Structure 1
Amino acid sequence: MMEPSGCPPPFPRNHTLNAAGDSCHWEVSDKVRLRRFLCYGSEADIYTATEEAHLVVAHAGALLSMLQDGQGIEAVNEIKGFAQDGRAVGLEPCIFALALCSQHSEVTTKRAAFKAVREICQDPAHLFSFIQYKKELKEDMKCGIWGRALRKVVSDWYNSQDALSLAAVVTRCKQRGGWSHRDILRLSHTKPVDEAIALISKYVTKGWKEVQVAYANKENTVDVVKVLSYLEIVEKVKHSCDETAVINLIEEHKLEKEQLLTDHLKSKLVWRALLKEMPLHSVLRIIGKMTAKKVLQPGGSETQALCERIQAEAVLKKAKIHPFSVLLASEHYKRGQGYQGKTKWVADGSILKALDIAFYKSFLNVEPVGKSFVVAVDVSTSLSSVVPGTSVSTAVAAAVVTMVFARTEAETHVLAYSEGALEQCSVSADMTLAQTTDELIKIPGGSTDCTLPITWATENGKAVDVFIILTNNPLWAASASSVETLKKHRQMLGCSSKLVMCGLTSMGHTIADTEDRGLLSICGFDLGAFSVIRNFALDLI
């Protein structure tokens, strides 16, 4: 790890003096609040891991303010940026914001929002969400839904797609959130752009029997023949009780589990066929279930093939698998049982080894931020507790966070601290997860003093871009003093340092001084927290 080369860049353009004349305080603008909302569904400076709030207009005050101030186009561009560049933890806030913009009375904003629908809502589930949000917003904003603009957007969504790809899409995701393809095709009065799309529309709205009658004696185009053949295969699978025939169709046409019957999914052989082409993110979520069902057995060829796939660098890169995703899957698999129900399994050693290899290879998928970091781990309390919603101990979670930054950012210092004790840790790229964990907990515990990492940086003249302080204690317990220490650090070194306070076991407390844009709270920890920290470090939120 390299030493910081000097102070960070000058203060942001919106940097202002506060009432006390503190030159290291800058405002939280409407654009920043909007970006927070797009990133994690809240305008506040607190991210709560694994929490999915129901989105309503009251949550999007900054967006409404921007719309009222004539900044609608700018707002739509922000929505597109977060949705398309992978900045958002999940797409729902972006889709909600897009729906809200599409309800706005200003014509250019409304047009821009509708134009962005096809770019953002590429999956049918996202299109259904957009329409549902418009339905919910109808009551708040006292406006209609199925006007000419929405009908055109829906029509364009279907008509702009390759016919064969559309056939696969409508048979995989048939309905979501109370909406179906049949509903929205009828309500939008979609006029198919060609015969192949017309065939799919008829299939969705009228059913397979009417399609067979309508196209039986016609001279069909090449595209229509392809779509007919594909839909015939999907229907054949739906009515087949022949296990071998179903497996052959899955493998030949790359069918997915959503296109099968529930009875098909009782077969081990069917699951083995599905696993071959299943996206790696999905595979990592169901390894335990597949072991419990004996789909994956010790020494079996399917287990061996899966292990090779899990640890293949090219596969990990293509799927953009993050180390924390692998860790979550590995720790859950080691646990030997699901979070709900009675599903239990005995973890297979070869799968555990493959997950371990995949964990270290997946660090190559982490894109550097290019800032200087201090990652400080509070060892004052037991780090044997578990991060809420996971099977990961807080010690292991803290170790992974330090590894991510130490391995990918050139200017990273890792510290372990408690009351009156602080030690700089040597976390190198060749260290294992176990070695990193041991390095972090080697100093004795005591009471918590979250100011020590910041004081250490100040005394050593290290103008840090971002402090990431990890603790098991409630954030409110020691945050006020940390904020004051941060302000002194900024003043003494003339830098715009930021502070992330992460309560690994916290469930909703926040740090003080929420109008300081350089402060962020994280309660709990999940994969989304890495996106939040990245956006924060890049001055996006």
Structure 2
Amino acid sequence: MEPSGSTASNHTLNSTGSPWEVSDEARLRRFLCYGSEIDVYTTRKEGRFSMENAGALLSLLQEGRGVEVVEEIKKFTQDGQAVRLGPSLFALALCSQHSELKTRQAAFKALKEVCRDPAHLFSFIQYKKELKEGMKCGIWGRALRKAVSDWYNEQDAMSLAAAVTTCKQREGWSHQDLLRLAHTKPSRDAVALVSKYVTKGWKEVQAAYADKENSEEVAKVLAYLQVVEKVKHSCDETEVITLIEEHKLEREQLLTDHLKSKQVWKALLKEMPLHSMLKMLGKMTSSKILEPRNSETQTICERIQSESVLKKAKIHPFTILLALENYKRGQGYQGKKKWEPDDSVLQALESAFYKSFMNVEPVGKRLLVAVDVSTSLSSVVPGTAVSTAVAAAAVTMIFARTEVDTHVLAFSEGTVAPCSLSAQMTLAETTAELVKLPTGSTDCTLPITWAVENGKSVDVFIILTNNPCWTLTASPVESLKKHREASGAASKLVMCGLTSTGHTIADTEDRGVLSVCGLDLGALSVIRNLAQELI
């Protein structure tokens, strides 16, 4: 989505020929990636979006480039480039009610590709409602009715049955609302069955299908819905467990009372996705479902460190690290749940951390990761149980182990020390290696100056600091420009304030400079996108 004056590498040229101007296209990509048009990614949860958040998006729509915008939305959601999906859903909702017919048509056509599950669809509808507030027209025109109907009609019937029983409502909308307002006419018998179940309830479905000659697909969906209804009305623990195991029922399909049973949790564990399991380790230990050397603990430990399971779930090392440090903490964030961490679970998580490096796709760039050791790295990354020292070591290991060309530096008050990290080093050993330098004041230009003085060509500088109030002998942006001139590289700079909650390093209109506040898996995705010139 570049104007004719662009280079092949997605740079937008300005009148002086600089490739680093922050164009509307660049601002749109930032918005689709992490929900803000400015050069700051923050790990804090997003709020609701409005027209005020999307100046570049509105400008591009006014220029008649709505179809290109929709293509960009699809690309970010389908290729996993979006850190948060909310911005894309908001942007698609805005495109779907633009004055230009081609843009509206493209947006509605993209609905089923962007909204992959009911939660996305409900959020899209709510954004449309919010954008229409204050106007005298409603949102349920013919185009939206058709798009929503197509969303339901084009689903696999069994997947749809599972979706409507696990995610029943969000954002004030339910499936019953959407099917009624869209006047959906089911495209085939199995979808008609699910639609009737949602809008009329199980009793009417039983009455309508009891004596019918049903197709194989309808019979399969009918049997599944019967199980879902049966478990909802069952007080028999043994029956609930049997239904979970035989039909792979999920936690969302059970009653709150069911989830008070250890045996029910043990049944759920057998098919629980690894991402969900990692989040539930503390709760399951607190509830005595996981106890030292019991069969459930052994099974979980085997799954956590199974290479095939890790690969299938595409678990990132940073996700494992968050789970490990949170479990080690022995207490939930609200302080209500407490547990005694099980040693075998801790060992399994540590083993999984190293094995999951296979899931990190290299960016294929020359990187320099620099860790600021001028202040104590003993504080904690906001919103996590991870110390800043361990977080810095983990990020360093992730890039050093997966990229062919990565330099690692520790720096403090005029001193820059290259670090030798081998692939055999543990997280603890890497952390110790990084904090060997004596502390002093912070100057985040030092790693860039070191690269210039040592003739190192760097594509991306990643500077990790614990100090939001650093001392600058020069502007990091100016230092970056000098490195670009000296090396000929199209260098970029990421300044990551590990304990920051919202500052920025400088007012810059340089597209190759980005601030990260805090640290989470999304931050690593943002860095990756910047390195590959996707934002």
Q: TM-score, normalised by structure 2?
A: 0.96
Separation (CA, whole Å) in 2 of partners of 1:460 and 1:133: 52
1:499 aligns with one of 490, 493, 507: 493
CA shift for structure 1 position 140: 6.4
Separation (CA, whole Å) in 2 of partners of 1:228 and 1:92: 34
CA 423–476 in structure 1, closer or farther in 2 if over 3 Å, else same: closer
CA shift for structure 1 position 12: 6.0
Q: Which residue of 2 aligns with 1:220?
A: 214
Q: How does 1:472-483 map to 2 (within 5 A)?
A: 472-474=466-468, 478=472, 481-483=475-477
* Equivalences, count: 529
2:279 maps to 1:281: no
* Amino acid in the other structure paired with 1:405: F
Q: Which residue of 2 aligns with 1:14?
A: 12
* Amino acid in the other structure paired with 2:116: Q
CA shift for structure 1 position 490: 1.5
Q: How does 1:216-255 map to 2 (within 5 A)?
A: 216-255=210-249
SS class of match (1:241): coil
2:81 maps to 1:87: yes
Q: Which residue of 1 aligns with 2:200?
A: 206
SS class of match (1:520): strand
Separation (CA, whole Å) in 1 of partners of 2:19 and 2:59: 23
Unaligned runs of 5+ in 1: 1-8
Deviations 1:129-170 (A, max 9, x none): 010000011126765310111111111111111212211111
Q: How does 1:39-78 map to 2 (within 5 A)?
A: 39-78=33-72
Deviations 1:403-429 (A, max 9, x none): 011011111000000001110001122
Separation (CA, whole Å) in 2 of partners of 1:121 and 1:463: 41
* Amino acid in the other structure paired with 1:371: K
Deviations 1:157-205 (A, max 9, x none): 1111121221111111111110000111100000011222111111111
CA shift for structure 1 position 522: 0.3
* Amino acid in the other structure paired with 1:482: P
Residues 376 and 414, structure 1, Cα contact 8 Å, conserved in 2: yes
Percentage identity across paired residues of the two chains: 73
Residues 11 and 19, structure 2, Cα contact 8 Å, conserved in 1: no
* Amino acid in the other structure paired with 1:118: K
* Amino acid in the other structure paired with 2:249: L
1:535 aligns with one of 505, 519, 529: 529
Separation (CA, whole Å) in 1 of partners of 2:227 and 2:104: 41
1:393 aligns with one of 339, 364, 387: 387
Deviations 1:60-90 (A, max 9, x none): 1111111111111111111011101111112
Q: Which residue of 2 aligns with 1:101?
A: 95
Q: How does 1:243-322 map to 2 (within 5 A)?
A: 243-322=237-316
Residues 256 and 274, structure 1, Cα contact 8 Å, conserved in 2: yes
* Amino acid in the other structure paired with 1:138: K
Residues 11 and 496, structure 1, Cα contact 8 Å, conserved in 2: no
Q: Which residue of 2 aligns with 1:172?
A: 166
Q: Which residue of 1 aligns with 2:141?
A: 147
CA shift for structure 1 position 120: 1.3
Q: Which residue of 2 aligns with 1:3?
A: none
Separation (CA, whole Å) in 2 of partners of 1:63 and 1:298: 54
SS class of match (2:444): coil
Unaligned runs of 5+ in 2: 1-6
CA 378–91 in structure 1, closer or farther in 2 if over 3 Å, else same: same
Q: Which residue of 1 aligns with 2:451?
A: 457
2:463 maps to 1:469: yes
Separation (CA, whole Å) in 1 of partners of 2:229 and 2:517: 47
Separation (CA, whole Å) in 1 of partners of 2:357 and 2:135: 46
CA 87–13 in structure 1, closer or farther in 2 if over 3 Å, else same: closer
Q: Which residue of 1 aligns with 2:4?
A: none
CA 476–68 in structure 1, closer or farther in 2 if over 3 Å, else same: farther
* Amino acid in the other structure paired with 2:71: N
Residues 480 and 512, structure 1, Cα contact 8 Å, conserved in 2: no
1:124 aligns with one of 118, 130, 134: 118
Residues 285 and 341, structure 2, Cα contact 8 Å, conserved in 1: yes
SS class of match (1:318): helix
Q: Which residue of 2 aligns with 1:444?
A: 438
* Amino acid in the other structure paired with 1:441: V
Residues 95 and 103, structure 2, Cα contact 8 Å, conserved in 1: yes
2:98 maps to 1:110: no
Deviations 1:492-540 (A, max 9, x none): 2222211101110011110213211111000110110011000111111
Separation (CA, whole Å) in 1 of partners of 2:112 and 2:136: 25
Separation (CA, whole Å) in 2 of partners of 1:275 and 1:263: 17
1:27 aligns with one of 21, 29, 33: 21
Separation (CA, whole Å) in 2 of partners of 1:155 and 1:10: 40
Separation (CA, whole Å) in 1 of partners of 2:155 and 2:489: 50
Deviations 1:221-275 (A, max 9, x none): 2222111111111110001011011001001100001000000000001011111
CA shift for structure 1 position 487: 1.6
Q: Which residue of 2 aligns with 1:197?
A: 191
SS class of match (1:296): coil
Residues 373 and 465, structure 1, Cα contact 8 Å, conserved in 2: yes
Residues 311 and 358, structure 1, Cα contact 8 Å, conserved in 2: yes
Separation (CA, whole Å) in 2 of partners of 1:460 and 1:481: 20
- Structure ranking higher on relative contact order (CA contacts 8 Å, 6+ apart): 1
SS class of match (2:475): helix
SS class of match (1:490): helix
Q: Which residue of 2 aligns with 1:332?
A: 326
CA shift for structure 1 position 16: 4.2
CA shift for structure 1 position 53: 2.6
SS class of match (2:311): helix
Separation (CA, whole Å) in 2 of partners of 1:24 and 1:422: 31
Q: Please provide the CA RMSD for this pair.
A: 1.6
SS class of match (1:500): strand
Separation (CA, whole Å) in 1 of partners of 2:514 and 2:431: 25
